[in-house]
Amino acid sequence: MSADSRKRIALLGHPVSHSISPRFQQAALDALGIAATYEAWDTPPEDVPIAVERLRSGDLLGANVTVPHKVAVMRLVDRPDALAERVGAVNTVVNRNGLLEATNTDVAGILRTFEGAQVPLAGKQIALIGAGGAARAVVVAMRQAGA
């Protein structure tokens, strides 16, 4: 498959130049034989609506969303799932023939991190510093875990 016919996946955030995500995501795509390129889109906040519209393009499979856009993108997609609605932020967008569906995988990642470290959360009091999209996911995860 030529590079011109490959599908694309974006990392949408600002700034993103420091992110290692494009390297390891591209390596995963290549290892799995998925003909797609993973590219970082450094998107200032004022350009988020334009970037989200670009995700509807036929050659884009979707995007990962990172700081500071998780809340803003949530408001711009067509179908956030129930978890995304509960969190109020998204980090994963899938283009389904121009319809943008979204979810939040941060909650599961947070819970798995604590479970893997064998840190019980039930009944604990949690101090949270932050108020962005990831902080919202922490709140949902902690409630789900009984903290």
**What tens digit of pLDDT does each residue of 25-48 get?**
999 999 999 999 999 999 999 999
Mean pLDDT (the chain) is 96
Split at pLDDT 50, 70, 90, the class of 133 is very high
Catalytic residues: 70
Encode pLDDT of 53-89 as tens digits: 999 999 999 999 999 999 999 999 999 999 999 999 9
pTM above 0.85, yes or no: yes
- The H-assigned helical ranges of the chain are 21-31, 48-54, 70-74, 82-87, 106-116, 133-144
Residue 5's pLDDT band, with cuts at 50, 70 and 90, is confident
Tokens of residue 99, six digits? 């319809």
Please give the Cα distance from 91 to 64 (Å, whole number): 5
Report the distance separating Cα 49 and Cα 73, nearest Å: 8
- Quick one: what percent of the chain has pLDDT higher than 70? 97
Question: Does a cis peptide bond (omega within 30 degrees of 0) precede residue 80?
Answer: no
Termini Cα distance of the chain: 49
In eight-state DSSP terms, residue 3 is G
The pLDDT of residue 4 is 58
pLDDT for 2 beyond 90 = no
